[in-house]
Amino acid sequence: MAKIFQVTARAGMTRVVEPVARGLLRAGVSPNVVTVAGTVGVLVGALGLGARGELVAGALIVTVFALTDLLDGTMARMSGGSTRFGAFLDSSMDRIADSAVFGAVAYWLATEGDHSGVAAALLCLAAGGLVSYVKARAEGLGMTCDVGIAERTERLLIVGVGGLLTGLGVDWALEVALWLLAAVSLFTVGQRMVHVYRQAQRVGQE
């Protein structure tokens, strides 16, 4: 099944990102520095703004810095491929950033007395971690798991749009986005488990 953020859109973004990536590499900036800087930016947007209810500014900052995932990946490819530590760092920083985003959302919704929204945010946090874990575990066992309707970019875009619309006055948008995100995240977990199961079955038949 196609991802929400289609491959063509990703390719278009990559064409925009490539000149920036080249410029940073020429300036001596490493992909790892960009990875850490992107995470710091997400933390500022989520914890410094989103958790205080400044949803428009928080959503915009989180979205901009979350897209550094494309930038550091492009830089790594241009410089000869990601190192093992670079891949480890990128994955670790992603988990930190995701925890900050959904933790901040849950905190703000709790201060607003929105218990349903808090439940959705916590479910998104748990499901997002599970999406990543299933892929990492499968790859650790020598299988592929690059499938799913909603990977990290899609998940952050959904919550970002919800936060932005709520900040602009559409009060129900964030909660709807969170429940939608929880659903597609759990569906993605199911997709990945089925994908790995089928691979395991084929291996068992050989």
Q: Active site residue: 72, 94, 98, 114, which one?
A: 94
State the Cα angle at 158 between 157 and 164, rounded to 5°.
85
At 158, phi and psi to the nearest 5? -65, -50
Q: Is 94 a catalytic residue?
A: yes
**Selection from 149, 159, 48, 58 nearest residue 102 by Cα:** 159
Angle between helices 31-43 and 84-111 (to 10 degrees): 10
Interacting residues of 39 by C-beta distance below 8 A, sequence separation 6+: 65, 93, 94, 96, 97
Active-site residue set: 94
